[in-house]
Structure 1
């Protein structure tokens, strides 16, 4: 292995380490606890090394969000991989989505609530975001009825996100979350 290859491998390792450490710190203590100084201390590299990978916290949160979209895509595809169809597939997808958000609150915040600068529904939208949308479209497009499939996915995704956000914030009681999810699936995906 050449010196250049070794340096590239070490750089890629540091890059992954920064993302993993930021995510772990956010899940443990919240995103306010994620600072470049604290990250540098945790990964045992100087702040300039951190800045050689990312321009600042916003880019780090964006990298965590991209990782999250990849994981969400995998979660959605697994939920419907066993062959449920129609309403059963939509219920499996919706349940997996809500479970993902509940298991990864800081990651979910990075993906949807924090300013990452990641463009949605745009020519510059990164591949992990497009792939998550496609995973939703693959299942939800089948139940869109006479609605435009992409528009239907946007509405369904918005409703799912709203349920997650309002439940997490305590504005909707969590005891009724399963019934709300069932109602959403029933109304938007048919019986």
Structure 2
């Protein structure tokens, strides 16, 4: 009985999250409200509140899913054959491709308000895994490997947002990635 209730609860949460992702992808995050979600999945608002304290908690759950997806993508990209900079470049291109292809998910992960925090005791495993995928491609000889990974990540995030908003030339996309990797890790 307890197992069944647990499965039913998990299924309701999956439906809520899936509906929120679908609405956000088609109409943007402002369209994602508790009322709209309740109507979409045919549950009452109190049922949604029994699963998630508020909209930000739903966004956080979606962000955690996004970090799991991003981690898998980066881990795959890190195994690209080539010279010692190839994994860095592949990870950079994969990261930027993810940000472009999944812009509403990327917003949930990085720009919308949530209680999610990195580098803390309560950091979600999916978030740790995504960051670990970045650290893994940073050369082991880099001083302050985690700081180098954070800097690499910050640069990629900046590029992702600037590219999406049209503030930098799309024609220089590949050149920027190569420059970033070559300059940031020039001594490696």
Structure 1 residue 189, shift from structure 2 partner? 2.9
Question: Equivalent residues in 2 for 1:1-191 (5 A)?
Answer: 3-142=1-140, 145=142, 147-190=143-186
How far, CA to CA, are the matches of 1:159 and 1:27 in structure 2? 25
How far, CA to CA, are the matches of 1:96 and 1:82 in structure 2? 11
Structure 1 residue 84, shift from structure 2 partner? 4.4
Give the conservation status (yes or no) of the 8 Å contact 2:162–2:168.
Answer: yes
Give the conservation status (yes or no) of the 8 Å contact 1:35–1:57.
Answer: yes
The runs of at least 4 consecutive aligned structure 1 residues that moved more than 6 Å come to: none
Q: Secondary structure at the match of 1:81?
A: coil
How far, CA to CA, are the matches of 1:44 and 1:32 in structure 2? 20
Structure 1 residue 82, shift from structure 2 partner? 4.4
Q: What's the C-alpha RMSD, in Å, of the aligned pairs? A: 1.5
Aligned residues: 187
How far, CA to CA, are the matches of 1:55 and 1:7 in structure 2? 19
Give the conservation status (yes or no) of the 8 Å contact 1:86–1:189.
Answer: no
Greater CA deviation, 111-120 or 169-178?
Answer: 169-178
5+ residue gaps, structure 2: none
Q: Secondary structure at the match of 1:65?
A: helix
Length-normalised TM-score, structure 2: 0.94
5+ residue gaps, structure 1: none
- The structure with the greater share of residues assigned to helix is 1
Residues 1:18 and 1:141: Cα distance change in structure 2 (over 3 Å): farther
Give the conservation status (yes or no) of the 8 Å contact 1:141–1:152.
Answer: no
